[in-house]
Amino acid sequence: MGTTESGSNFPLALEGREALEAAGREGRTLTETERAVAQVEAYTPEEAERRLAEAEAQADTRPGSVAPMVINLGPQHPSTHGVLRLITELDGEVILDVHPVIGYLHTGIEKQCENKTWWQGITLVTRMDYLAPFFNIHAYTMGVERLLDLEIPPRAEYLRVMISELNRLTSHLVWLGTSGLELGAITVFFYCYRERDAALDLFEMISGERMNNRYFQVGGCADDMPPGFEQRLRDFIGRMPARIDEYEELLTHNPIWLERTKGIGVLPPDELLGLGVTGPPLRAAGVPLDLRKAQPYSGYEHFQFDVATGRNGDAYDRYLVRVREMRESVKIIGQCLDGMPEGPHIADDRKVVLPPRPELAHSMEALIHHFKLVSEGFKVPAGEVYSAVESPRGELGCYLVSDGGPKPRRCHMRDPSFVNLQALRPMCRGSYLADLIVMIGSMDNVMGGVDR
């Protein structure tokens, strides 16, 4: 019998007993890892006693029998796609169970938003899913605009769609490059980052920042396209189809890539839907759910594009879906440039939108509006709203509650990385340890969005 920190006795697994004895000898409490291994972290002593008694009763005590090995994977960033820790139970090389442990990148962004003005919150939410900053802001600003009943100029909507699709490209390029790198395809990594760097140059040109951009504002966009931007963007999307062909030449029919991804990490559509999985992992299983088509926002109903789907729901189909999505994003960006409406890039409501900077030098009213908006923010009518966008990882939603003041009463984000991570455990059971990293990568979870 082992003794818990609270003093009650109950049987522990062998690893738990050893951890408890070591902590007793050293006169300290159990570490987080020791608690998880001992299976006492998530349960009361009574619950742990019952569960462990059942496990010990079912254990094979015959001579020569081997108990499952428990190993800790992560939270090293390169191997687990971020600071994700996995407590893994193994029978040889076969995964019996896996327990994701999250929270190492927790920043409290949602609670911070409730202590900042609506205007200041934009800078915070951009840092959650750091590979898709424009989508974080898009969901947030759309929610605020709906509470304000603020009409967005058509040009601003087209600019948002154009930049969002460029961001989808950069996100998928990071995923493809790092996924290839994990399986030994280092050339793909270099190729993908070549194009990503060019796209980040475009972000810097239009917003002043390469990452964590604050280009989308409540009411529209911070600025219009600068001189020369349109031509550089046209040159970029003109190159991309051939570059995507290069990626596919390296991977799509590569026997090693096929062997490592086909039939790996399969989950049926009904199980994925039951877990709330969205985005490429769901579409790869044959479910054509894409918010840009199902619930069009920001004028997506005016664009012609196809929803990429798969049939088998494995890691290979997730790869194919994302590659096809990159091709569709290139098409949407071209349609944005060709059909860009004339007009302002942001709404003309001085109670909500900052006045143009040139006016500050000669208009006292503009200066007062600027000072009030920056120092006090604007008030939003009381109410609640949920707004969602189709991010590179699935449905990214923002739930906002206003009490009529200058700060959110409640701000909560539905990040697809957090929800999709639930699928990893059923996906891994019965698979080989060597395939675990492939399955983690194929889900494309970003831990900044999981923990936020």
9-13, 153-157, 224-228: which range is least confident on average? 9-13
Output the CATH code of domain 109-451.
1.10.645.10
pLDDT band at 68 (very low <50, low <70, confident <90, very high): confident
Mean pLDDT of 444-451: 87
Q: At residue 63, does pLDDT exceed 80?
A: no
Cα–Cα–Cα angle for 108, 83, 395, rounded to 5 degrees? 65
pLDDT band at 338 (very low <50, low <70, confident <90, very high): very high
Query: What is the Cα–Cα distance from 336 to 155, expressed in whole angstroms?
Result: 10
| pLDDT at residue number 365 | 83
Q: At residue 273, does pLDDT exceed 90?
A: yes
CA distances from 107 to 113, 121, 143, 166, 411 (A): 11, 14, 22, 27, 14
Shortest CA distance to 102 belongs to which of 119, 115, 85? 85
| pLDDT at residue number 236 | 95
Tokens 């003794």 correspond to 3
For residue range 101-127, what is the model confidence (pLDDT) as tens digits?
Answer: 888 888 889 999 899 999 888 999 998
| pLDDT at residue number 15 | 56
| pLDDT at residue number 10 | 37
Q: At residue 256, does pLDDT exceed 70?
A: yes
- Mapped onto helix, strand or coil, the DSSP state of residue 64 is coil
CA distances from 44 to 14, 58, 99 (A): 19, 21, 18
Parts of the chain belonging to CATH 1.10.645.10: 109-451
Longest dimension (CA), the chain: 90
pTM for this entry: 0.84
CB-CB neighbours of 176 under 10 Å = 26
For residue range 17-58, what is the model confidence (pLDDT) as tens digits?
Answer: 666 666 677 776 666 555 665 554 444 555 555 666 666 666
% the chain with pLDDT above 70: 85
Query: What is the Cα–Cα distance from 110 to 394, expressed in whole angstroms?
Result: 19
Q: At residue 356, does pLDDT exceed 70?
A: yes
Query: What is the Cα–Cα distance from 165 to 183, expressed in whole angstroms?
Result: 27
Query: What is the Cα–Cα distance from 180 to 183, expressed in whole angstroms?
Result: 5
What the block records as the tokens of 280 is 């490429």
| pLDDT at residue number 105 | 83
28-42, 174-188, 274-288, 424-438: which range is least confident on average? 28-42
| pLDDT at residue number 9 | 38
Q: At residue 344, does pLDDT exceed 80?
A: yes
